Amino acid sequence: MGHAYSALNLRLALAGFGLVTMVVFAGLAFWADLVWLGVVCAVFGAVAVVDLFVIQRRRAARRREQPGARHSLFE
């Protein structure tokens, strides 16, 4: 049997998309004087930044454990 796969690369792409989306939405919300919505989007953007940091740390740990291994988007 194989081992469980971790979708870190896919999670990285999704977190990056979420960060860009939330920054754009926050900017539009503040521009439209919807401060509460801008704050909510900014908080979600901050969550995406933290998630990106955690993902990068886990990817670095995986590279240390498996040097030279190539991982697909879903591994």
- Higher local confidence (pLDDT), 32 or 4: 32
pLDDT of residue 74 exceeding 70, the answer is no
- Higher local confidence (pLDDT), 49 or 4: 49
Closest by Cα among 55, 72, 60 to 14: 55
The answer to whether 20 and 52 have CB atoms below 8 angstroms apart is no
The answer to whether 42 and 22 have CB atoms below 8 angstroms apart is yes
Flag whether the pTM goes above 0.85.
Answer: no
User: Would you state the pLDDT for residue 72?
Assistant: 61
| Rg of the chain, C-alpha, whole Å | 16
Report in angstroms the alpha-carbon separations of 24 from 2, 30, 67: 41, 10, 37
For the stretch 15-72, pLDDT in tens is 999 999 999 999 999 999 999 999 999 999 999 999 999 998 988 888 787 777 776 6
